[in-house]
Amino acid sequence: MKKILVACGNGIATSTVVATKIREKCEDNGVAISVTQCKLLEVESKAEDYDLLVTTGKFTGGDVNIPVVGAISLLTGIDEEETLDEILSYVK
């Protein structure tokens, strides 16, 4: 089962929206995943345990060895489906 780390400024509000949408998308496509939320500040200390990093804000700097997807579209609603498809492609 692939593990996704969703990071946002706070680890609470926006990452919950993104995490819920990702879970629904994966469920609709029959892909089992586990999603964890955290703050952007915690990413470096957590990233190596996960297969994919999804961020709501702009994530610059920091070394992570896993693929990163910027998911602000899941908040604005513009190009939402494309981003979800991209995330799905990493965990199928």
Catalytic residues: 8
Strand order in the sheet with 2-8: 33-39, 2-8, 52-55, 68-70
Q: Report the residue from 3, 16, 36, 88 that binds another protein according to the rule CB under 8 A.
A: 16
Q: Report the residue from 4, 5, 8, 69 that binds another protein according to the rule CB under 8 A.
A: 8
Alpha carbon distance 52, 54 (integer Å): 7
What part of residues 32-71 is at the interface with another protein (CB under 8 A)?
Answer: 37, 39-42, 44-45, 55-61
Q: Is the four-CA dihedral 26, 31, 32, 37 of positive or negative sign? A: negative
**Among the residue ranges 4-12, 28-36, 83-91, the one whose residues contact another protein (CB under 8 A):** 4-12
Which residue in this structure is represented by tokens 């994966």?
A: 26
79 versus 89: smaller Cβ distance to another protein: 79
Question: Which strand (E) or helix (H) includes residue 39?
Answer: strand 33-39
* Binding status of residue 27 toward another protein by CB under 8 A: no
Q: For residues 69 and 86, is the Cβ–Cβ distance under 8 A?
A: yes
Binding footprint of another protein on the chain (CB under 8 A): 7-17, 20, 37, 39-42, 44-45, 55-61, 72, 75-78
